[in-house]
Amino acid sequence: MKMLFALALMTMLIAMILVIIVNMISKKTFMDREKSSPFECGFDPKNPARLPFSLQFFLIAVIFLIFDVEITLLLPMVITLTKANIFYYSNLVMFFLIILLWGLYHEWNQGALNWAY
């Protein structure tokens, strides 16, 4: 077990050293105006490169993903009900549900759940 842990630690250390070395010696410039602009055969573009999108739609999509992951965490709890101590199980589920409801209340107060502005 110690050998496996040492091997994993050495692998992570080598990977981190390589990432740091590559970042230090790379000649990549992050802010180059010409490279970041869209290219249309040497001419200035006629239309903007990116279309605007609704930030409200993005927030609703993120909230949906968060609650979708929470549902996937709740479903296995129903299956493990028969194998767990009912006291510890009920405390765990109530704690998890309180965290979920607190998050929902916070999003509601922030106005993230309003569809029309």
Q: What is the pLDDT of residue 48?
A: 66
Domain boundaries, the chain: 56-110
State the Cα–Cα distance between residues 101 and 105, nearest whole angstrom. Answer: 6
Q: With contact defined as beta carbons under 8 Å apart, do 113 and 63 qualify?
A: yes
- Would you say residue 41 has pLDDT above 70? no
For residue 24 the two structure tokens come to 């230090």
The vertex-99 CA angle with 94 and 101, nearest 5°, equals 90
- Would you say residue 40 has pLDDT above 70? no
For residue 48 the two structure tokens come to 């903007």
Distances (CA, A) of 98 to 53, 82, 116: 34, 22, 28
Kindly report, residue by residue over 22-38, the tens digit of the pLDDT: 888 877 656 666 666 66
